[in-house]
């Protein structure tokens, strides 16, 4: 998945911190302030499963997992 954001850049090439979600908004503000617009691409690769409550290698778990994990009782949560 890729997410695009736009940032204003001044005449010295310094990028502002604020990122615009819409290009049209960035372009309008850049025009008003006599700045340029650069596009940033954020790419997210597939994630890797690293932990599950039952130590398994699949998530979400099968229907049987709900019966194997004990429910927390009220006394267990508040230390009493």
> What tokens were used for 6?
């736009």
* Token pair belonging to 51: 């932990």
The confidence score (pLDDT) of residue 34 equals: 98
Peptide bond into 25 cis (omega under 30): no
Task: Let me know if residue 22 belongs to a domain.
Answer: yes
How does pLDDT run across 19-49, given as a tens digit for each residue? Answer: 999 999 999 999 999 999 999 999 877 777 7
Say how far apart CA 74 and CA 22 lie, in whole Å: 47
Q: How many domains does the chain have?
A: 1
Instruction: Please list, in sequence order, all residues whose beta carbon lies within 8 angstroms of the beta carbon of residue 78, skipping any fewer than 6 positions away.
Output: none
Report the alpha-carbon distance of residue 56 to residue 24 in Å, rounded.
47
Question: Which pLDDT score is estimated for 52?
Answer: 87
Residue 53 has pLDDT above 90, yes or no: no
Positive or negative, the CA dihedral 64, 65, 70, 74 is: negative
Domain contains 76: no
Q: How confident is the model at residue 68 (pLDDT cuts 50, 70, 90)?
A: low
Domain that holds residue 15: 1-69
The answer to whether position 77 is within a domain reads no
In a domain, 11, yes or no: yes
Q: What is the pLDDT of residue 64?
A: 56
């Amino acid at each position: 998945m890729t997410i695009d954001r736009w940032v204003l850049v001044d005449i010295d090439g310094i990028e502002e911190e604020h990122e615009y979600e819409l290009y049209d908004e960035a372009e309008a503000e850049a025009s008003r302030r006599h700045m340029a617009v650069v596009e940033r691409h954020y790419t997210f690769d597939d994630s890797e499963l690293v932990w599950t409550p039952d130590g398994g290698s699949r998530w979400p778990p099968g229907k049987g997992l709900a019966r194997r994990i004990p429910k927390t009782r009220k006394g267990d949560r508040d230390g009493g």
